[in-house]
Amino acid sequence: MMKRILTFVYGVASYALFFLTFLYMIGFLGNFAVPKTIDNGTETSLPLALMVNVSLVLLFGLQHSVMARPGFKRMWTRIVPQAAERSTYVLMSSLALILLMWQWRPMTSTVWSIESVMGQSVMYALFGMGWLTVLITTFLINHFDLFGLRQVTLYLMGRDYTSLGFVTPGPYKHIRHPLYVGWLLAFWATPTMTVGHFLFAGLQLAYILVAIRYEERDLVEFHGEDYANYREKTPMFIPKVGREMSPEPQTEVV
């Protein structure tokens, strides 16, 4: 019983760290409310800043992708309890993101700057919409399973974990990856785009486009023909006007 309690506490603590990191990242990218943002801090030479920032994003991307692959999970669960696998992934992702925000080197030359109040309002609205889309989408596909709380709770209760069914709630009927659409809005929507912010957003876009290939391969392996048919009928990011809603369901893998 003690092992179950400790695993549950570990899962809750991992989730708490994630949620605080998520909130901090909103301020980090929005340049408000937090002491260290993407555009403030000690400036260094452009080559050093470029090297450090690219390395930080690559480190986050490698951790985020490698630990999500089924083969790594099978190996990893020989070391950590099965019930704590997702919580460990969430913990490592949070730590990688904390490192990125902590060590990020500002690159403050301006790519674009919107001066009009209306234009700034639109960008802030899109920025907020992006974060809201990310949060809502995680609840549509089971927020607590995605971040490991369901797994450790079932383990605490002595119940076996069961995989979630294949569903397409809300925007998943129209596009395959609304979660990533939310992230892209959060990354790109800003009234003042600096070189550093542009680098971050561009690298994250590249990572998402690469990661989707492996993610969808895993989804096809896990869900079989259901996901293959869904992928064939449903656009990736942009819904097609007049297209019938896809009846096949989906589960997002991060």
How does pLDDT run across 115-154, given as a tens digit for each residue? 999 999 999 999 999 999 999 999 999 999 999 999 999 9
> Is 241 within a domain?
no
Residue 242 inside a domain? The answer is no
Q: Could you tell me if residue 217 is inside a domain?
A: yes
- Whether 249 is in a domain gets the answer no
- At 234, the amino acid letter reads T
- For the chain, give the mean pLDDT: 92
Measure CA 14 to chain center.
15
Domain count within the chain: 1
Q: Predicted confidence band at 88 (pLDDT cuts at 50, 70, 90)?
A: very high
In 3D, which of 186, 169, 39, 83 has the Cα closest to residue 127?
A: 186
| Residue 90 located in a structural domain | yes
pLDDT for 41 equals 87
H helix or E strand, kind and range, residue 194: strand 192-194
Task: Check residue 149 and give left, alpha or beta (phi > 0: left; psi -120 to 50: alpha).
Answer: alpha
pLDDT exceeds cutoff 90 at 69: no
Task: Quickly count: other Cβ atoms within 10 Å of residue 241's Cβ.
Answer: 5
Q: How far apart are CA 149 and CA 53, in angstroms?
A: 32
In a domain, 133, yes or no: yes
Q: Is residue 52 part of a domain?
A: yes
Domain annotation covers residue 202: yes
The pair of structure tokens assigned to 175 is: 């596009």
Share of the chain above pLDDT 90, in %: 78
Task: Specify the range with the lowest mean pLDDT, choosing from 133-137, 190-194, 219-223.
Answer: 219-223
Distance CA 155, CA 178 (A): 30
Domain limits for position 86: 2-233
